[in-house]
């Protein structure tokens, strides 16, 4: 028996994979409905197609451009992005899990452990306490994971405060915007179209999130009208974080498996689900296997973020100037942010002037991950 706490994409996709392998799987979901509340922008790269084909009703928009904005520069780059209805996406993956044989218990809140093979849960419909016998427990319950806390797995990481709201704003519905510079300290701002006159506007930062958000909102709309809030925490990846302790495992935001450059966690969590499924089936060490499978990519994202946090407005202006070159645009179109190692290595090959920026450290690190210089060239 395998019990997964949390019916987000990470937990549901893992349940789907395990159920396909013939395992008995139950998902405990605290809320009365999968996918609520929404706390995510819901934008992903085309790399999601490596895992499954999305149903049309899950897709809000398909975007083919990103507008990157710095203090004194602005460029447009061709991309291939999907904006999802996040609640519908969560239910889509949960349905996959159920169709494969997994069970989902709604309104069930994880309360703790009783020994190594029993968990305690509360049925919120009638406030009854249940004791559930299980061989494996997976915490897929977010950055403040109750499973991790109860199992004594220290979080050891920081969280960005992600403030996002739906606001009335007309913009090009084939493009989304990202904003960088001193007005967006330690992270960035985003503006993603949901419909012809509604966008998902947000900002991430460690401190003074409300102040930075309203300044950004006013610069875009000239007012402070908010249709609804969709804010949440964005975990910062920590390569030292323990994600397995005995028969207790963590995945997704609970494991801080998030790209530090963008805050995106959907695709990293789907990759992690594949790794964790293999570890559970074949009794492998998840701490080690995850680092082998995904650790280098997420570490690269973290190192990029640490460098970007030191950028001045002038540095960002220079970066965008180089990104606007046609040969660079082609690389950005070919490799998305979910394939960071070949992306950064090929950017260096096509535009050596990136070495003049503080990003040189990132590029040297990336090239060091290649087996050889020749392999990097062959992969270009």
pLDDT at 378: 33
Q: Is 260 left (phi over 0), alpha (psi -120 to 50) or beta?
A: alpha
CATH number for the domain formed by residue range(s) 2-36+86-157+238-294? 3.50.50.60
**pLDDT tens for each residue of 17-65:** 999 999 999 999 999 999 988 888 899 998 999 999 999 999 999 999 9
**How many Å apart are CA 281 and CA 278, to the nearest integer?**
5
pLDDT value of residue 208: 94
pLDDT at 252: 97
> Distance between CA 285 and CA 277 in Å, rounded?
11
Estimate the crossing angle of helix 296-308 against helix 360-368, to 10 degrees: 170
Query: Class assignment of domain 43-85+158-234?
Result: alpha beta
Per CATH, 2-36+86-157+238-294 and 43-85+158-234 having the same topology is answered no
Long-range contacts of the stretch 185-193 (C-beta < 8 A, 24+): 185/212, 185/309, 186/160, 186/309, 187/160, 187/234, 187/263, 189/216, 190/41, 191/220, 192/41, 192/43, 192/63, 192/83, 193/61, 193/63, 193/83
Listed by start position, the domains of the chain span 2-36+86-157+238-294, 43-85+158-234, 303-378
CA distances 173 to 177, 262, 263, Å, are: 11, 21, 22
Distance separating alpha carbons of residues 220 and 33, to the nearest angstrom: 33
| pLDDT at residue 346, as a whole number | 79
Structure token digits, residue 324: 């606007």
In the prediction, which pLDDT does 363 show?
A: 52
pLDDT at position 310 = 87
For position 221, what pLDDT does the model report? 87
Tokens representing 165 are: 């709201």
Show the low-confidence residues of the chain (pLDDT under 70). 155, 355-356, 358-380
- The pLDDT of residue 106 is 97
């Amino acid at each position: 028996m395998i019990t997964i706490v949390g019916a987000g994409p990470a937990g549901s996709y893992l349940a789907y994979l395990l159920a396909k392998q013939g395992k008995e799987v139950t998902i405990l979901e605290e809320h009365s409905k999968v996918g609520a509340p929404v706390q995510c922008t819901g934008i992903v790269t085309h790399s999601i197609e490596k895992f499954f084909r999305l149903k049309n009703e899950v897709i809000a928009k398909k975007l083919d451009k990103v507008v990157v904005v710095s203090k004194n520069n602005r460029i447009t780059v061709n991309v291939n992005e999907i904006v999802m209805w996040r609640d519908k996406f969560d239910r889509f993956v949960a349905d996959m899990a159920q169709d494969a044989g997994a069970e989902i218990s709604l309104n069930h809140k994880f309360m703790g452990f009783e020994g190594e093979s029993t968990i305690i849960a509360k049925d919120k419909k009638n406030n009854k306490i249940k004791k559930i016998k299980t061989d494996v427990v997976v915490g897929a319950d977010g950055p403040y994971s109750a499973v991790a806390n109860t199992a004594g797995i220290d979080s050891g990481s920081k969280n960005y405060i992600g403030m996002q709201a739906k606001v009335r704003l007309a913009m090009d519905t084939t493009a989304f915007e990202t904003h960088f510079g001193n007005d967006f300290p330690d992270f960035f701002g985003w503006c993603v179209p949901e419909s012809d006159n509604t966008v998902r506007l947000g900002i991430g930062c460690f401190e003074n999130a409300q102040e930075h958000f309203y300044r950004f909102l006013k610069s875009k709309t000239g007012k402070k009208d908010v249709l609804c809030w969709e804010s949440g925490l964005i975990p910062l990846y920590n390569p030292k974080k323990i994600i397995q302790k005995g028969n207790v495992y963590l995945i997704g935001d609970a494991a801080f498996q998030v790209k530090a450059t963008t805050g995106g966690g959907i695709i990293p969590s789907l990759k992690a689900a594949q790794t964790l499924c293999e570890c559970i089936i074949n009794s492998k060490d998840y701490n080690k296997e995850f680092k082998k499978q995904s650790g280098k990519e997420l570490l690269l994202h973290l190192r990029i973020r640490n460098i970007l946090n030191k950028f001045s407005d002038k540095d960002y202006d220079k970066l965008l100037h180089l990104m606007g070159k046609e040969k660079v645009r082609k690389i950005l179109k070919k490799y998305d942010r979910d394939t960071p190692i070949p992306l950064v290595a090929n950017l260096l090959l096509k535009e050596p002037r990136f070495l003049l920026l503080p990003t040189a450290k990132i590029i040297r690190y990336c090239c060091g991950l290649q087996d050889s210089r020749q392999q990097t060239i062959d992969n270009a």
